[in-house]
Structure 1
């Protein structure tokens, strides 16, 4: 009988441990949306080298569909940054995952505007869009918050 009891304890104990560990992991990943979440789509970069603005090429943003965005980059005095490279990253802070695609800069549209293609949001919620801008003044970053 002790073998059956030990086996039952083992069979019941492993799922309980897994559920507890999973709950702790999910709890650590889940962050609440800040009350003062900055939803500006036009803002200075982290070190102040540039000012960046983002806009989807089509509205409304359709969940689960691929779409393009335009990023406008200006210098500190407001003049367009005509030569820049832009790296894109992002994800869902509350879920602990990144973007479901690998968006990239595909075109220089002139006048400090750049096309980003390959954007896709696969669910509603709080998303971040992180840009690394490499321009004449150096490399700087900016994070945009989106509520979809």
Structure 2
């Protein structure tokens, strides 16, 4: 009888210890997730869909093919490029890159400009975001041997 009571007491101590450890671990994971989501995103980010390129060579505006911008779904954007004085940019070569700065990974796809519509509009296909959070989209544009980049910030939920 003493042996059964001892085993039962030991079982309850181990069980209580595991429950406490599990609760502490869960609380720690939750706290870390909250810290990453709230502390990793700079407070002063500009989420506008129109921006001037880094060196001021062009202005860019993106228009998603679907709103809100979806997660886990392929979609496309239209990128509009114009000179600082508002003239459409034709014949640009454009490289597309996306990144999630907090997580250190890029997009699961390789989006590309697949068509020039004219009037400064370009079709960007193959966009897919695999999770919510802060994303950046970079467009490196070459126009008449001048290269400049524009970055857009997105906060997807």
TM-score, normalised via structure 2 length: 0.73
Long gaps (5+) in structure 1: 1-29
| Structure 2 residues without counterparts, runs of 5 or longer | 1-35
Q: Give the Cα separation in 1 of the matches to 2:69 and 2:60.
A: 20
Q: 2:90 aligns with which of 66, 79, 82?
A: 82
Task: Check 1:54–1:90 CA distance in 2 against 1; reply closer, same or farther (3 A cut).
Answer: same
Q: Cα RMSD over matched residues? A: 1.5
Q: Secondary structure at the match of 2:124?
A: strand
Equivalent residue for 1:54?
62
Cα deviation for residue 128 of structure 1 reads 0.4
Is contact 1:63-1:121 (8 Å) kept?
yes
Counterpart of 1:22?
none
1:95 alignment partner, one of 75, 97, 103:
103
Distance of 2:107 and 2:146 partners within structure 1: 26
In structure 1, the residue corresponding to 2:67 is in which secondary structure?
A: coil
Per-residue deviation, 1:122: 0.5
1:134 aligns with one of 142, 146, 151: 142
Report runs of 4+ in structure 1 exceeding 2 Å deviation. none
* Alignment partner, residue 41 of structure 1: 49
Alpha-carbon deviation of 1:137?
6.0
How far apart, CA to CA, are the structure 1 residues paired with 2:77 and 2:145?
24
Equivalence for 1:110? 118
Aligned residues: 120
> Could you tell me how far apart the structure 2 residues matched to 1:144 and 1:39 are?
7
- TM-score between the two structures when normalised by the length of structure 1: 0.77
More helix by share: 2
> Bigger radius of gyration, 1 or 2?
2
1:32 aligns with 2:40: yes
CA distance in 2, matches of 1:75, 1:61: 27
